[in-house]
Amino acid sequence: MPSSVLQKASDLAPDVRQAVESLLGRPLEPEEHVSVMAYLPHKAPVGPERAELAHRLKERIDTTAAKLKDVPEAELDELIDEAVDHVRHHRS
């Protein structure tokens, strides 16, 4: 049995579509896709494990930042704006 499903809104059974719209608090557009995932949550790490994971994340961020050090700030801002615009206006 799958733990996730992706389906076009127009293909949903009426009762399922109504339930999804109720959860979202808005109507679905026919061309929108609905993704549902079921999973068991895990406990957040604590103590030394949490500190180590935070350290590794910071190292990864620093490595990425170093790769971009020669890119002009205005270009980075444009790329970020483009990515945000894409996410906000291209539902899939």
The mean pLDDT value of the chain amounts to 93
Mean pLDDT within 7-24: 96
Report the predicted TM-score, pTM, of the whole model to 2 decimal places: 0.49
Q: Which is more confidently placed, 16 or 2?
A: 16
Please check whether residues 28 and 49 belong to one and the same domain.
no
Indicate if the pLDDT at residue 27 is higher than 90.
yes
2 pLDDT band, cuts 50/70/90, is: confident
Please check whether residues 23 and 11 belong to one and the same domain.
yes
Please check whether residues 51 and 25 belong to one and the same domain.
no
Please check whether residues 34 and 4 belong to one and the same domain.
yes
CB 20 within 8 A of CB 28: yes
For residue range 31-74, list pLDDT tens digits in order.
999 999 999 999 999 999 999 999 999 999 999 999 999 999 99
For residue range 62-73, list pLDDT tens digits in order.
999 999 999 999
Number of domains forming the structure of the chain: 2
- The whole domain housing 55 covers 42-92
* Torsion 13-88-82-58 (CA) sign: negative
